[in-house]
Every structure is written in structure tokens, then in C-alpha cells.
Structure 1
Amino acid sequence: MLWILALVALTSVMVGIFYPQIDYSEFALLTDDQIKLYLEVQKDNLRDLEMVTEEGPYIDVKSPVGYRLNSPLRFEIDITPREDAPVDMATFRIAYRLGDNWLDVTRKMLKQGDVEGSRVSVPGALLPVGQHAMRFKVSDSKKRQSETTVTFSVGE
């Protein structure tokens, strides 16, 4: 059975934009063709958080948490500046691993999510059963970048 994969995305337009009407309903991240590609990839059942590079702001993925999650998911990301360099939220990007490639889902997440300062909240992400990976990137005002990859499983 195919579930529609969904995540909301942030874009560089988010800085200075106020979203008066935020739709917190569930949303589909991937198209049917992209889900078919996802289903061809081998999966396992572990959750992992990997700091790929952390020269810039600290990325704290508060949610999803756990080893076997249920869809829809809520994403909570807190970004903390390092030293005296403020976070540049215009550089914040979210990507979803689809096979060997990374799909930029920043715009989709921004449309469905809420950004307050350097905190991102995205409810209602529908994902199919299986293993998933998300990559979060952000820079600070000194152009130092951080990247974190989260791997997690969605159960039935």
C-alpha cells in the first residue's frame, strides 16, 4: 500500500514574512512516482542523528523522536547560534533522501509549518511505512554552515 509522503519545507523567503493563516492539515511530500522510487530502496528500523558538519549554528532536532514512529509526523527543529554570529534563517534548508538523491522539501515544509525566530515547527507530515532520512542545513551571519541528518522509521 502506498502512503503519500509528506514534509513541509522552509525557503529563503521565510525571513521577514509573517504567515497570518497557517494550515496545519496533513500534506503529501512526494508524488506517486517519487513514492515508487522510495519503495525500491532497502530499509532498516533504526533512528540515527548525525551531525555532518557543525561549524555554524547548532541544529537540535527535537521531533520526530523514537525508533518506530507513526505517520503523520511532527517536526520540531531548534537552531541555536554559536558565539556572536546570529542564525541566518534565509539559508535554512530541508532535504529528504529519495534513493541516492536528496529532494529539497524546504518550500513544502515552509508552506505547512511555522517559523518563530530560529525555531521550526511542522505538523502533519505523512510518510509511508519504512525508513526515512532528512537533512537539515543552516548558516550563520559569518557564513559558517551546519548540517544534520536524521534517519528514522515509520511503522504501521
Structure 2
Amino acid sequence: MVAPGPRAGAQTPSFALLTPEEQMQYESIGSGAVRSIAIQSNAGPQIQIAAPQGFTLRSPVDFDIRVSPRDGVAVDMSTLRIDYRLGPAWVNVTNRIMRHAAIAGARLRARGAELPQGDHALRVSIRDAQQRVTQATVRFTVAN
């Protein structure tokens, strides 16, 4: 069961997406992309990343991830996983985001993720009731 996040309309404080140690390891991935989405696997539910969106992102960054069933097969929101690209590795940040997220049906909204200036990548994956997986990577740039 996913714990409820902040109430709608409530002042939402920002939160650090990266630990202090990860902040020290952070190097801009140098994608040069303002915002792009790449689908690596598309067998499961459909993923729409509504935020982060825009041409000039500033920290803190909001996340709005919407998932819809494919072929009428139910989405399993408990399998939602969000990884952050840190150098050559991917770090699981799902729990960090979930502590500040509101989930309504198959939609996750989290506001106020503090990120350093530079290029970033998040990988989102989710399964459906038939264990089919969809995985998408969103790249974006933060200009503080």
C-alpha cells in the first residue's frame, strides 16, 4: 500500500532527491537535451511523463507520471520503480520520491525535488497484472 502524499493545495516543501554523497558524485551526464523521453520497453502499461516538462527547468523540479493500462490489463502501481542516472550507474530513488508523492489511481505526483544544475536522467519502469514491463527514460536539464 502506498502512503498518501501531501494534500492538494497544501504548501509542499522541497526535498533532496540525491543524498549528500550522491551530490558529491554528481556530474552532468552531458546529454545536451533540454527534455527528451525514450522508451526502452513498451510491452506493459503506457507511461506518460507529464513533468518534468519545459524548456528552462529550475530546481526544485516536479514529477507527474501517469500510467494507463494496455489491452485492458490492470496496472500494478506497487511495481513502479524510478531510477536516477548517477555517473555510469542507476540509483533507485523510488522511496525518496514516494515519501513526497501523492498517488491517485495510476498517477504519481511529487513536487519539489531539489536537483543540481546540469543534465539529468530518470528511468521509470512499471508492470501490469500479466507481468508485462514498460520502461522509459526522461532526460532533462536544470538551469539554476
| TM-score > 0.5, shorter chain as reference | yes
Q: Does 1:143 align with 2:131?
A: yes
Contact 1:24 1:113 in 2 (8 A): no
- Structure 2: unaligned runs, 5 residues or longer: none
Counterpart of 1:100 in structure 2 is 88
After TM superposition, the structure 1 = structure 2 runs for residues 37-76 of structure 1, keeping only pairs within 5 Å, are 37-39=25-27, 41-46=28-33, 47-76=35-64
In the TM superposition, residue 29 of structure 1 has moved relative to its aligned partner by 1.6
Q: Does 1:120 align with 2:119?
A: no
C-alpha distance in 2 between matches for 1:130 and 1:44: 9
* Shift in alpha-carbon separation, 1:20–1:42, aligned structure 2, 3 A: closer
In the TM superposition, residue 32 of structure 1 has moved relative to its aligned partner by 2.0
C-alpha distance in 2 between matches for 1:33 and 1:107: 17
C-alpha distance in 2 between matches for 1:29 and 1:20: 16
- Structure 1: unaligned runs, 5 residues or longer: 1-12
Amino acid in the other structure paired with 2:129: S
Counterpart of 2:73 in structure 1 is 85
In the TM superposition, residue 128 of structure 1 has moved relative to its aligned partner by 0.5
Counterpart of 1:31 in structure 2 is 19
In the TM superposition, residue 142 of structure 1 has moved relative to its aligned partner by 0.5
Identity of aligned residues (%): 34
Contact 1:64 1:75 in 2 (8 A): yes
Which one of 107, 118, 124 corresponds to residue 130 of structure 1? 118
* Shift in alpha-carbon separation, 1:115–1:20, aligned structure 2, 3 A: closer
The runs of at least 4 aligned residues of structure 1 exceeding 3 Å deviation read 20-23
* Shift in alpha-carbon separation, 1:50–1:26, aligned structure 2, 3 A: same
In the TM superposition, residue 101 of structure 1 has moved relative to its aligned partner by 0.7
Q: Deviations over 1:59-90 (max 9, x none)?
A: 00001112331111111011010012100011
Q: Deviations over 1:121-150 (max 9, x none)?
A: 010001100000000000000000000000
In the TM superposition, residue 20 of structure 1 has moved relative to its aligned partner by 7.2
